Amino acid sequence: MSLRGRAVEIKSPEQLRVMRKAGLLTGQALEAVRAAVKPGVTTLQLDAIAEDTIRSGGGIPSFKGYSHPPFPATICASVNDEIVHGIPNERVLVEGDIVSIDCGAIVEGWHGDSAITVPVGGDAAVGGDVRELLRVTEESLWAGIAALRLGGRVTDVSAAVEGYLRSQAHPTGGSWGILEDFTGHGIGSQLHMAPDVPNYGRAGRGPKVERGLALAIEPMVTLGSHRWKTYDDEWTIASQDGSWAAHFEHTVAMTAGGAWVLTALDGGEARLAELGVPFGGLS
């Protein structure tokens, strides 16, 4: 569903501080899930860990019961060629799989949204092509975050994500599959809000980046084609050609000082410093 043309919600510093609580809880849930990913675990067990972390922290899962048909779980768990929106089930993860975990939490009516992709059995358990897929997808996320500037435009993020991916050699000499029909989005008092944040396109377009803007930036990339299919469950999106996929996401707010990564446990301070980007956390 496109969010184009809808009003962009601008948050006050006080509202961003509450969003930070939701973002921290989301990040903590993802770290708990990351620690639990190992051969023999089911994605349903990972879902229970995320839900317990969120509810124990005083939050509510953003995804559970969301949309139509209602999403039945706390996390999206997408394995191997599944790109996004995978429904947790009794599938047992095996060494060499990868699993993308997308998670959201609500605190006092405000949302956080983040995603990671984790190799089952550790980096050594997957091939070099898959390790490179995970690396370039996560790095493209940070390239997009680094492109956020007060007075800039939302598609500066889009151009930075695509530009980084296009600059990185593909293991087979082909091109990375950048999902075009699934995008990042505004976030705040609702999970999905204007504006759309595509992972491709020209810079200098879309709404102006101003203080109080919050975006969920989320590159979704495959080793093959960008074309996709939907499973019969009406939720799970998988690559059409069976190529494996990665998904990384952070919720990022703009403050007077710069970017504040609400779903990173340190607010993004360390990574932004490496990139030479101002850190905009609020005290």
Here the tokens at position 175 are: 């091109």
The annotation status of 113 as a binding-site residue, yes or no, is yes
Beta strands per DSSP E along 120-243: 177-178, 184-186, 193-197, 214-217, 220-222, 228-230, 237-239
Q: H or E stretch including 67?
A: none
The alpha carbon of residue 169 and the mean position of all alpha carbons in its chain are separated, in whole angstroms, by 23
Buried b (16+ CB within 10 A) or exposed e, 81-106: bbbbbbbbbebebeeebbbbbbbbbb
The annotation status of 192 as a binding-site residue, yes or no, is yes
- How far is CA 219 from each of CA 91, 141, 172, rounded to the nearest angstrom? 25, 6, 21
The annotation status of 81 as a binding-site residue, yes or no, is no
CA distance 279 to 255: 9
- Within 13 Å of residue 3, how many CA atoms lie on the same side as its CB? 21
The annotation status of 102 as a binding-site residue, yes or no, is yes
DSSP 123: G
Smallest CA-to-CA distance from 79 within 35, 126, 114 is with: 126
Here the tokens at position 232 are: 């019969």
The annotation status of 250 as a binding-site residue, yes or no, is no
Residue listed under structure tokens 């860990």: 49
The annotation places the binding site for substrate at 85, 192
- List the binding residues for a divalent metal cation: 102, 113, 185, 218, 249
Binding residues: 85, 102, 113, 185, 192, 218, 249
